[in-house]
Chain A
Amino acid sequence: MPALLELSSVSKQYDNDVILSDISVAVGKGQVIAIIGDSGGGKTTLLSIMGLLQNPTGGEIFLDGREVSTLDMVQQAKLRNKYFGFVFQRARLINSLSALENVMVPAWIAKAGGSMEKRAEELLKHFNLGNRLHYKPQALSLGQLRRVALARALLLNPPLLLVDEPTNDLDPKLAAAVSADLLQARETGASVVIVTHDYDLAARADEVFKLKAGKLQRPNWKTKTDISLVADRLTEG
């Protein structure tokens, strides 16, 4: 499977604090990868480096075979808009915009607003938010916020979805619904990288990585196996 995104010996440190060290990972087209690990272990930092939200202090990032970590901010911004769909840990919706407008933001940035409004509506309807199109985020529940954020991430059909703790703070039923929505993106051919504590969700990924002490490990478990076993082993560290 050709790699859509590849990190090669990536490291990140703030002053003397090493957050990530010698990370190498490849995300194939249509592949779903889960990254699990302790809180404060650098998962979000890794995700932000994958999404070109910040540059690594060492190593290289290849997107569609092209080294992108050395590009300037404007070029990286264009790539973010074209390649990535982000679902942040918190929904990160703009309170001044309605649900529909929030979904439209990537299209406005890509200057494709007119042609995308219908798709934005369809996405929200798909996520059972058809009757909440013009609601402001303050009027939406946590689960609804997550789904609006997911719709926003999917609007431009990005080849790669980067998802940070999508089921945090959700009750099991809602978490299952959001997970299902997320994994549905795979059906469109998009690659998905999920940073999560949710072992149920991680177990449904094609590959699971564990981030520990700044290093990415590929645990010797099979994915899609017994969830409780995975959970036990994760707890064991």
Chain B
Amino acid sequence: MTALIWRSLAHRKFQCFAVAITIALGVGIIFSIVMVYRGVAQGVELSEQRMGADIVVVPGDVSIAVEPGIMLFGGATENTYMPRGTYPAIQAIKGVKSATPQFFTQKLTADCHDIGSAIRMAGFDAASDWIIKPWLKQANISRLADQAVVIGAKVNTWNQGYMYILGKKYEIVTVAEETGTSLDYSIFVNMEEARRVVAQSSQLQKVWDKQGPPDQLISAVLVQIDKSVPLDEILQQIYKTGYVQPIVASATKEKLQQQFTVLAWLLGIVGGLAALIALFQLFARFYTLALERQAEWGVYLALGASSRDIAWIVIGEAIAVTLAGSLAGLLLGAVMYYLLLQLLSSYQSFPFIAPGWQFAALASLSAIAVFVVLGCLAAWLPAYQGSRISPSTVLTRGEFD
């Protein structure tokens, strides 16, 4: 039977090619969607798990245009500051379980360091921090030396163990795990070092003149709250600490979740439609096939093929076409996945963690399995019809292909 299946496919190569292309598109879309969905879902889940901040307090003049996702996962990337006294004031508020300050220095362009791409540099307080530490499985840092840095997972380093920033050599103490957030593109130093780095900046001199020297300032306070205390009450107290704006993480998370849900729906609908179109194509192809080839199958039946053999020919062809289409679709899906990632990477608010090869393998096998099953389902009716043909058809039918 395999010989007959193979020859039939070879004879109808253009029809088969068209169906395989349809399947490839369906598999490609679904595979890339599943991979992106998984990556975003993992990113959101991990961020929720690890980011302890319920409220991010930033200076009141931080631009509203700043993406909340960036704020949530990495603090403000603007040179806006508030008095360092804000930190103990917030710490003292009833309902604040813990708080930690951050100090944003600047965006480092490729000229500023030896790592070749733009990154964000910030200072953090290793003693009170619970934001960065959970990402540092390889090191237990309670204090960071002045020449030490912690770098994000996607910060490129050309030298083993050290890097130069603004002409100064820093030892890389550890590399944070991949977060899928702006943290991945960040370099962290201790608070004092961060303040020293920006103190000399002539561009920021006006800021220091207006707000005081950097060693008296902070950029953000990340707050973990006691859930038993009403949020509004805590927010009111935070407003009283000065010209600050608290960003409630849960609201941001919710907004992110909504954005993610919309994206997921969109991706799901596109994927579902692709699968449906492929299914209808397959069904139409095999149904027409059943009508076209009754006389041919009649010959096979007359020559000794059983009705099960005929059903197997139809199903076998369906499996061969869907398998070929699915494999091509996986290649296409890999390209589409890469392109989608490029698109998504422009939206930093979507935390993304690339799925591992195990998931990719599972998704590939599942996509193949789903489409082969769909192919078999589409071929089932024609196969059933084919298996019902009487062998005597061969004596009554006209000429055939």
Report whether B299 and A74 are in contact in the complex, using a CB–CB cutoff of 8 Å. no
Report whether A74 and B401 are in contact in the complex, using a CB–CB cutoff of 8 Å. no
Of A17-25, A87-95, A171-179, the one touching chain B: A87-95
Chain B residues whose C-beta falls within 8 Å of the C-beta of A73 in the assembled complex: 306-307
CB-CB under 8 A for A77 and B3, given A44-B395, A53-B302, A94-B299: no
Which applies to chain B's interface (DSSP): helix, strand, loop or mixed? Answer: helix
For A88, give its contact among B11, B394, B401 (CB under 8 Å).
Answer: B394
Chain B residues whose C-beta falls within 8 Å of the C-beta of A47 in the assembled complex: 395
Report whether A77 and B307 are in contact in the complex, using a CB–CB cutoff of 8 Å. yes
Chain B residues whose C-beta falls within 8 Å of the C-beta of A54 in the assembled complex: 390-392
Q: Once the chains are docked, how many angstroms separate the CA of A97 from the CA of B4?
A: 9
Report whether B400 and A82 are in contact in the complex, using a CB–CB cutoff of 8 Å. no
CB-CB under 8 A for A113 and B392, given A51-B302, A78-B306, A106-B304: no
Chain A residues whose C-beta falls within 8 Å of the C-beta of B390 in the assembled complex: 53-54
Report whether A74 and B395 are in contact in the complex, using a CB–CB cutoff of 8 Å. no
Report whether B304 and A74 are in contact in the complex, using a CB–CB cutoff of 8 Å. no
Report whether A108 and B299 are in contact in the complex, using a CB–CB cutoff of 8 Å. no
Report whether B399 and A80 are in contact in the complex, using a CB–CB cutoff of 8 Å. no
CB contact list, A119-144 vs B, under 8 A: none
Q: Once the chains are docked, how many angstroms separate the CA of A51 from the CA of B392?
A: 9
Chain A residues whose C-beta falls within 8 Å of the C-beta of B391 in the assembled complex: 52-54, 77, 80
Chain B residues whose C-beta falls within 8 Å of the C-beta of A105 in the assembled complex: 4, 299-300, 303
Q: Once the chains are docked, how many angstroms separate the CA of A88 from the CA of B304?
A: 14
Q: Once the chains are docked, how many angstroms separate the CA of A92 from the CA of B301?
A: 12
Chain B residues whose C-beta falls within 8 Å of the C-beta of A207 in the assembled complex: none
Q: Once the chains are docked, how many angstroms separate the CA of A158 from the CA of B25?
A: 48
Tell me if A109 is interfacial: C-beta within 8 Å of chain B.
Answer: yes
Tell me if B94 is interfacial: C-beta within 8 Å of chain A.
Answer: no
> How many interface residues does chain A have, given as a range?
35 or more
Q: Once the chains are docked, how many angstroms separate the CA of A152 from the CA of B300?
A: 12
For B305, give its contact among A51, A77, A101 (CB under 8 Å).
Answer: A77
> How many interface residues does chain B have, given as a range?
20 to 34
Tell me if A48 is interfacial: C-beta within 8 Å of chain B.
Answer: yes
Q: Once the chains are docked, how many angstroms separate the CA of A90 from the CA of B299?
A: 11
Report whether B3 and A104 are in contact in the complex, using a CB–CB cutoff of 8 Å. yes
Chain A residues whose C-beta falls within 8 Å of the C-beta of B308 in the assembled complex: 74
Q: Once the chains are docked, how many angstroms separate the CA of A79 from the CA of B196?
A: 94
Tell me if B258 is interfacial: C-beta within 8 Å of chain A.
Answer: no
Tell me if A110 is interfacial: C-beta within 8 Å of chain B.
Answer: yes
Q: Which of B300, B305, B308 has the most chain A CB atoms closer than 10 A to its own CB?
A: B305
Q: Once the chains are docked, how many angstroms separate the CA of A77 from the CA of B344?
A: 59
Tell me if B8 is interfacial: C-beta within 8 Å of chain A.
Answer: yes
Tell me if A8 is interfacial: C-beta within 8 Å of chain B.
Answer: no
Minimum C-beta distance from A98 to chain B (A) = 9
Chain B residues whose C-beta falls within 8 Å of the C-beta of A81 in the assembled complex: 303-305
Q: Once the chains are docked, how many angstroms separate the CA of A32 from the CA of B7?
A: 36
